[in-house]
Each structure stands twice: as C-alpha cells, then as structure tokens.
Chain A
Amino acid sequence: MASEHSEIESTTCNDASQFLLLPQIVLSIIEKVLNQVLVLDPLLSQSLETIQHKRLIVEIRDWQQALQIVFDGKRLHLFTAARDSDYDCLISADINTLLTLKNPAMLTQLIRQDKLDLQGDLNIAQTYSGAFSKLNIDWPEQFSKYMPDAAAQQLYLNLKSIHHNALNASTKINALVSSLFQDELAVTIHPLELAQFKQRNRDVKNHVSALEQRINVLIRTLN
C-alpha cells in the first residue's frame, strides 16, 4: 500500500510540474546561463568543438527525468528528453552520482562500480564532464535573476537560505525541487476560492469595460 501511495503522490507532483512546465522553465534558465558563460569563455567553446551536434542524454533515475544537451558550435541547447529520443551518448544514474561527475576521472570508475550506465560514445560524456567541471556558476543567484514573478520570489528566498547554509550540492537541488513541488500543490483551487475568483473576475470585467469606455471617450476627444 505504501508504495501505491507514494506512486499516487509522485503522479500528482508530476502532473503539477507538467502543468507548470517546470522542467522546461528550469532547463531554459540553465541554457541561458550556460550560453552567457560560453560567450565570455572562448576556451569552453573550444573544448566542446569536437562534439559539435552530438546529442547527449542525461537520465536522472531518481527524479525520473531525462534531459538532452546539444552544442551547435556556438550555443548549447537543453531540452527534456523522452524515452524514445535518439542520442549519440546516454548516461543514466542517480542525481548524487551524476553530481560527482564534476570530476571527469570518475566516469569510468562509476561505470565499473555499476553506479552509472553509459550507452554510445563515451568520449561525448567525458568531453562534457571535462568542460563543465571547470565552470564555477552560482546557480541560486542565477535562478533568482531569471525567475520574475511572485512565485519565483519564494523560490529565490528558499534558494538564498539554502545557499547561505552552504549545504552540499545534492541537498541543495533536492530542497529546491521539493519546494517547487510544494508551491505547485498550493495551486489546487478550493470551491470558496473559486467563488472569490469568479467575483474578482466580474470586478475585473467591469473595470475593463469602464476603462474601455473611458478610452473611447478619450479617442473621441482626440479626434
């Protein structure tokens, strides 16, 4: 029963994250930040040159998420990946294992230890791992810069406190994800809220038509 329950819960989370297109938001921000770094750091582009247009899929097992990365010679592209997506190299592991790849020498070691599954061209994973290991990006800061509205404000605060507490990298990300999910779950609407929402809608509608009339009057006066 317990496993059924957690399954239901995770479906709800996935639904909510699907609804808000969270993976797409997060990946688009990471993509933006990495591409800014690429512009400023020609060495990074150079180190990726040999794997231009090769598709790397990274499967994060415990999150049941996969992402694909492509370098087109100038920019990096990051997308969600599906089960049937084609690739030139695929690596699959838990998030904790993947985070240790900051040290490229770990790759073969982790494969030998059966902690990481690799299919396709090993060189692609090694090149990315080597290139990214040199980066030093303050992700919480970056996320706070790109997420605009009130919900993001909350995320920003969460990230900030996590950052200050200097937790290790994997805890940071886990906390981020669970706070995102909590935010999403709050999205479900109660009937009372719906009634209020409808009332507010009516108010807005009245305001809009009042505004429209005033604009019409203004236009007439201008003419």
Chain B
Amino acid sequence: MKETPEKTTHFGYKTVDANDKASMVADVFHSVAAKYDVMNDLMSFGVHRLWKRQTIASSGVRKGHYVLDLAGGTGDLTAKFSQLVGDTGQVVLGDINSSMLKVGREKLHNLGLVGNIDYVQMNAEALPFPDNSFDVITIAFGLRNVTDKNKALRSMYRILKPGGRLLVLEFSKPKHEVLSKAYDFYSFNLLPTMGKLVANDSESYQYLAESIRMHPDQDTLKGMMEEAGFEQTTYQNLTGGIVALHRGFKY
C-alpha cells in the first residue's frame, strides 16, 4: 500500500508532511541538547524537578523492576529509577535523538550511575521490544513531539507487562482562565526570547510553545490512552493544569 503523499501533521502551529515531522523534531532537539538542562530549569523556574518527583512517586517502581524512560532525553527520570530498581532491575533510556542520548549518558556517568542503565535510540511509534517486557514506562514531555501519538500509545501498551503501568507527564491545559492567559503570555513572549538569549535559538522555543498548545487536553489524552487499551486511566493536574500526569494500567 502506498502512503498518501497528502498525509499531514502539526509541527507546532505549522502543518507539515507527516513524513517530515520526525526529522524536524530531531533538528529541534539536536539544536537544544547541550543547553537542555539549563533551559529546563530556567523556563520552569526549577519546577520541572517537582513534576518529575511526582511522576516517580506515582510509578510504584521498586527493586528488580524493568523500566523504560521513553523520550528520556537527558535522563532525569532514569537517574532516580536506576537507584530505585537497584542491581536486580534495569532501566532503558530511550530517545529518538542521538544528541540527547549522548548528553544523558554523560550526565548519568558523571553521577556515578552505571551498571543498570541501557541507552537505546528508538522511535516511540515502533518500540523495539518484545510484548510484555516492562513493569513501568514513563514518557515525560515527549508525547507531544511524537507524530502519531495513538500509534505510540499502542506500542507502549504492547511492551508493558500485565500489571504494568504507563505514566505520561506532559504540558496540558491550565484549569483557570487567568492562569491560562498569564501562561500564554509567558510562553509566546518570554519563552522564545529566553531561548534566544540563553541558547541563541528562539525558533526551537517557539516550537515548544506551539507544540504545547497543539497537544491534546487532559480528557482527550485520557480517552486516547483508553483507546490504546489502558485501564484505570486517571490524571492529576500539576501546577493548575499547566502540566498533567496521566496514569494507565495494562491488565
């Protein structure tokens, strides 16, 4: 079957050919990789660390678990997981982008975290693992960059063990109008400017702001997870819904 040439998707607010999105997203993350951690702290006033703590808290991870930190980038979640699964567990840091993986590997090595972490380049839409492999999968600030989100969710469901859980940490829709306005101003005016001043890359941060707005809201994402097969799907709004943590189980 031939792919329809007209198949399109969103790249931020732009409509682009679906086949091009992955490489455009790749360009964004190649260009931000080196400054990624600094920008993360700056842009979120350090709050991303708390969002990530909450993700770990909800993961139910324990010694011996097999964990996939998908779109794991520079490995913040992997670092904690690696300590919690211990020497009988294993964490896979998976990302589509080699520059991000490289920065992540260096960072975790420097933290002395070795022995139970694998670094694997992969596309969330076609995960290179057998069925029923993982106890926990997380995807933090990654899903909105994926071209076919439904396909990615189905792929995650497939490789999760029965009883395992998926956690999706992602920007979402603020609950209150006021917060929503302030947040819009912040992300469309200040964010790209900060990106320009610190990383000399306002376009990537413009993309960031746009991709956040195009991402499905809380209930839509919950529905998508259910459609992919997840059960007992719930979400928790963090920081007034600027970010939401979705959780679903496979039984």
Q: Which A positions have Cβ atoms within 8 angstroms of B? A: 18-19, 21, 24-25, 27-28, 52-53, 55, 68, 70, 72-75, 77, 79-82, 85-86, 189, 194, 197, 201, 204-205, 208, 212, 215
Q: Would you call B86 an interface residue if the criterion is a C-beta within 8 Å of the partner chain's C-beta atoms? A: yes
Q: Would you call B133 an interface residue if the criterion is a C-beta within 8 Å of the partner chain's C-beta atoms? A: no
Asked if B238 contacts A21 (CB within 8 A), the reply is yes
Asked if B50 contacts A25 (CB within 8 A), the reply is yes
Asked if A212 contacts B84 (CB within 8 A), the reply is no
Asked if B56 contacts A208 (CB within 8 A), the reply is no
Tell which of A21, A53, A194, A204 touches B54, judged by Cβ atoms closer than 8 Å: A21
Asked if B178 contacts A189 (CB within 8 A), the reply is yes
| Inter-chain contacts of B197 with A (CB < 8 A) | 215
7 new A-B contacts at CB < 8 Å, known A21-B51, A73-B86, A201-B182: A24-B53, A55-B62, A77-B83, A79-B56, A80-B54, A212-B193, A215-B197
Tell which of A68, A72, A86 touches B57, judged by Cβ atoms closer than 8 Å: A68
Q: Nearest chain-B residue to A88 (Cβ)? A: B62
- Distance between Cα atoms of A86 and B84 in the complex (Å): 14
Asked if B239 contacts A21 (CB within 8 A), the reply is yes
- Distance between Cα atoms of A182 and B6 in the complex (Å): 56
Asked if B53 contacts A79 (CB within 8 A), the reply is yes
Q: A28-B50, A53-B63, A77-B80 are in contact. Are A82 and B58 (CB under 8 A)?
A: yes
- Distance between Cα atoms of A74 and B63 in the complex (Å): 14
Instruction: Find residues 35-62 in chain B having any chain A CB closer than 8 Å to their own CB.
Output: 47, 49-51, 53-54, 56-58, 60, 62
Q: Would you call B13 an interface residue if the criterion is a C-beta within 8 Å of the partner chain's C-beta atoms? A: no
Asked if A53 contacts B240 (CB within 8 A), the reply is no
Asked if A77 contacts B84 (CB within 8 A), the reply is yes
| Inter-chain contacts of A215 with B (CB < 8 A) | 197
Q: Sample 20 A-B pairs with CB under 8 A, ordered by A number.
A: A18-B238, A21-B47, A21-B50, A21-B51, A24-B50, A24-B54, A25-B50, A28-B49, A55-B62, A70-B84, A72-B84, A72-B86, A77-B56, A77-B80, A81-B57, A82-B58, A86-B62, A197-B182, A201-B185, A208-B190
- B195: min CB distance to chain A, Å: 12
Q: Which B positions have Cβ atoms within 8 angstroms of A? A: 47, 49-51, 53-54, 56-58, 60, 62-63, 80, 83-84, 86, 178, 182, 185, 189-190, 193, 196-197, 237-240
Q: Nearest chain-A residue to B236 (Cβ)? A: A18
Asked if A86 contacts B60 (CB within 8 A), the reply is yes
Q: Nearest chain-A residue to B232 (Cβ)? A: A84
Asked if A194 contacts B84 (CB within 8 A), the reply is no
Q: Nearest chain-B residue to A205 (Cβ)? A: B189
Q: A197-B182, A205-B189 are in contact. Are A212 and B196 (CB under 8 A)?
A: yes
Q: Nearest chain-B residue to A24 (Cβ)? A: B50
Q: A21-B54, A79-B53 are in contact. Are A85 and B84 (CB under 8 A)?
A: no
- Distance between Cα atoms of A131 and B53 in the complex (Å): 25
- B185: min CB distance to chain A, Å: 5
- B18: min CB distance to chain A, Å: 34
| Inter-chain contacts of A85 with B (CB < 8 A) | 60
Asked if A53 contacts B86 (CB within 8 A), the reply is yes
Q: Nearest chain-A residue to B242 (Cβ)? A: A19
Q: Nearest chain-A residue to B185 (Cβ)? A: A201
| Inter-chain contacts of A212 with B (CB < 8 A) | 193, 196
Q: Nearest chain-B residue to A15 (Cβ)? A: B240
- Distance between Cα atoms of A204 and B178 in the complex (Å): 18
| Inter-chain contacts of A82 with B (CB < 8 A) | 57-58
Asked if B57 contacts A80 (CB within 8 A), the reply is yes
Asked if B190 contacts A75 (CB within 8 A), the reply is no
| Inter-chain contacts of B196 with A (CB < 8 A) | 212
Q: Nearest chain-A residue to B193 (Cβ)? A: A208
Q: Nearest chain-B residue to A201 (Cβ)? A: B185
- Distance between Cα atoms of A27 and B57 in the complex (Å): 11
- A143: min CB distance to chain B, Å: 16
Q: Nearest chain-A residue to B58 (Cβ)? A: A82
- Distance between Cα atoms of A80 and B88 in the complex (Å): 24
| Inter-chain contacts of B83 with A (CB < 8 A) | 72, 74-75, 77
Asked if B57 contacts A79 (CB within 8 A), the reply is yes
| Inter-chain contacts of B237 with A (CB < 8 A) | 18
| Inter-chain contacts of A74 with B (CB < 8 A) | 83
- Distance between Cα atoms of A79 and B36 in the complex (Å): 25
- B183: min CB distance to chain A, Å: 12
